Each structure stands twice: as structure tokens, then as C-alpha cells.
Amino acid sequence: MIIIGAGSVGVPTALATAKGGLKTLVLDFLPSVAQADNKHAIGGIRATHSNIGKALLCKRSIEIFSEWEKKYGDDIWWHQGGYTFLAFSKEDEKVLKATVKLQKSFGLNIDFLTTERVKELIPGINEKGLLGGTYSPEDGNASPLLSLHSFFRHSKRLGAEYRFNEKVIGIDIKKNKIVGIKTNKAKYKTSAVINAAGAQAKEVGKLIGLDLPIKPESHEAGITEPVKKFFSPMVVDVRPYTDEKFGNSKNYYFYQNNEGKILFCLTPSPNIIGIDRRETSSFLPQIAKRMVQLLPRLKNIKIRRTWRGLYPMTKNGNPLVGKVGEVGGTLMLLVCVDKVLC
């Protein structure tokens, strides 16, 4: 089994294939593990999606993350602090309540809380116009880097091999079957390949003539200095925002990690398609304004750092997973997108 990409998808997949007894090789053109978009994630992991496939997949992620330390002995900073989506309009309240009903029918533990309960969860929240919010206590967060390094070590222990600084530039096909892989350094024989190339998955698909429906979208995030822990859930403010000076955004979300630092991220509007990972000067004033308005006690907290990375997105935000029909022997598992660390 050859896995292209040593990131959020490739490394846990290598752990699974090595554990299942397959001779596994992971190739990445970067110099070490988790050097692309894995380290740009802020670490939120939730099962509360409105698509059943995604909800069940993420429920399994939560089981894996919550049992990880007990099973493998590594602290990956898993914290089951929940997620809360806030409602500030009748329309959002209606949509969120309908989603909760659907999610409950999938067996997910989620409720719609009153404003009073939301105020207990997020002390100091500006309650002006707040109509309540969803709360899913089993969702949580973990450190993307610690998690991936732990997956990496255990996959190697089980026999997976990694080669870095090596770019896959060709996939050899004979009689409609995969027979090998070509990199900038070597050739390998294989009958099974997994495309876990994240933002470059489309380019890897093109190596066998596939036009994969995937586009990288860039998002920015940041982290503050540590302060005493005062709230647990990932807070999602779904109100769209239009501002002449600072620009437009769809929503933003933030949580406090186990060191007391607040990690935050914003969804721009419209989406920014492309592979530019250079941070902008507009992100911080834009999100700071929104966060301080929602949680005024954040106004004096210092920001340590911001960064920009890519979400490899599909049209509906669901992962693309499956075997490629026409080319026998290929298994194309494609990028797990949007809030899934599987």
C-alpha cells in the first residue's frame, strides 16, 4: 500500500493499513510528518453534522480520540468540552432546532439550550439578542500536532515506512491496473495507492486522468496568550458579517485549549479559493472585532500569532472516499475535509 501524503488523513490511514497487516509506505515531498495543513487546524472535532455519513464518521473519530491516551499512552490534549452554535435570530434558532432534531435521530447527544444555560457555559457572553444555542457535550478538541505525531510513531511501530522529501510525479498503469509509482527520486512497485494529498489531491488525481471535485479554500486562524480557563466548548457564532472597513465573513469559532490559550478561526465570505498560505493584515482586526463584541472580557487578551492554511474542500463539504472504478487496484481515499480529523 502506498499512501501519498503524511498529513491528517495519510498518517492515521497508514496506522490502520499497517495494523491490518499491509506493507505500507507513505511518501511526502515535505521534510517531515504533519508539515502541510494538519498543523494549520485548530483542533476541533465534532460529530454534530447534519449529514448522516459525516456524523457517523466523526462519531468514530471522537471514540478514537477519547480512548487514545488509555490505549496508546500518549497525551494528545483530548478535551471533551463540547461545541455550541449560537442563535441570534429567529431564523437561526429555527434552523438549529431542526438540525438538533435530525442529529438526535442519528443518536447524537445534542440539545438546544436556553440563553441562561448558554450564559453558564460561556461566562461573560454578550446576551444582547441571544436566543440560546445548541450544545453537544461529547464533541471536543485535541492538538493536531500531538495527535498526528502519536499516530506517526505507532504506525512506524507497526511497520509503516515513511519517505520524506519525495514527490509523487507519476502513477504507472498497465492493462488498466496500477502497477507502480514514480517519484522525483525513485520508482516503486505497488497495486494499491491512497491519495491523501490534501490541497494537492486534485493534482494527484490528474496523474491517472481523474478530475476530482476538490478545491482548496484558505482560512486564517490565531492563538492568544494563556489565561485562566473560563469556558470549555468550541463556540460557533454563525451570524454573517458585512463590514466596509474589515471585510465580510460567514462565521467564526473559538475555544480555550488546555493551556488556557484561545484558538480562533474565521470563515471568509465569499470563500477564498486557491493555495495562497500567506497570512493577511485584514484577518485579525476583522475577527478581533467580532470576538470582543461577543465576549467583551477578551478585549485585553494578547494575540501570540496568526496563520493561514487550506481546507481541501468538496462541493458539499463531505469527504470523498472510495475506490476508483476504471483503474483496477487503485484505492483512492481522498482528503477528509472540514472539521474531521479521522
* Residues in touch with ligand FAD (CB under 6 A): 4-10, 27-30, 35-38, 40-44, 167-168, 196-200, 204, 219-221, 265, 309-312, 335, 337, 339-341
Instruction: Rank residues 38 and 132 by Cβ distance to ligand FAD and give the closer one.
Output: 38
Chain residue at closest Cβ approach to ligand FAD: 7
Instruction: Rank residues 168 and 291 by Cβ distance to ligand FAD and give the closer one.
Output: 168
Angle between helices 144-157 and 10-19 (to 10 degrees): 30
Instruction: Rank residues 132 and 205 by Cβ distance to ligand FAD and give the closer one.
Output: 205
Instruction: Rank residues 121 and 339 by Cβ distance to ligand FAD and give the closer one.
Output: 339
Nearest approach, Cβ of residue 98 and ligand FAD (Å): 24
- What are the two backbone dihedrals, phi and then psi, of residue 303, each rounded to the nearest 5 degrees? -90, 135
Nearest approach, Cβ of residue 340 and ligand FAD (Å): 5
Residue 172 near residue 180 (C-beta atoms within 8 A): yes
Give me the DSSP letters along 259-327. TSEEEEEEEESS--BS------SSHHHHHHHHHHHH-GGGTTPPEEEEEEEEEEE-TTS--EEEE-SSS
Instruction: Rank residues 131 and 313 by Cβ distance to ligand FAD and give the closer one.
Output: 313
Nearest approach, Cβ of residue 15 and ligand FAD (Å): 13
Instruction: Rank residues 47 and 130 by Cβ distance to ligand FAD and give the closer one.
Output: 47
Nearest approach, Cβ of residue 229 and ligand FAD (Å): 19
Q: Give the SS3 label for residue 125.
A: coil
Nearest approach, Cβ of residue 127 and ligand FAD (Å): 26
Residue that is written with C-alpha cell 469559532 in the block? 253
Of 277, 233, 281, 234, the closest CA to residue 253 belongs to 234
Of 134, 39, 123, 131, the closest CA to residue 82 belongs to 134
Residue type for position 75? D
DSSP run (H or E) holding 217: strand 215-226
Nearest approach, Cβ of residue 167 and ligand FAD (Å): 4
Residue 48 near residue 62 (C-beta atoms within 8 A): no
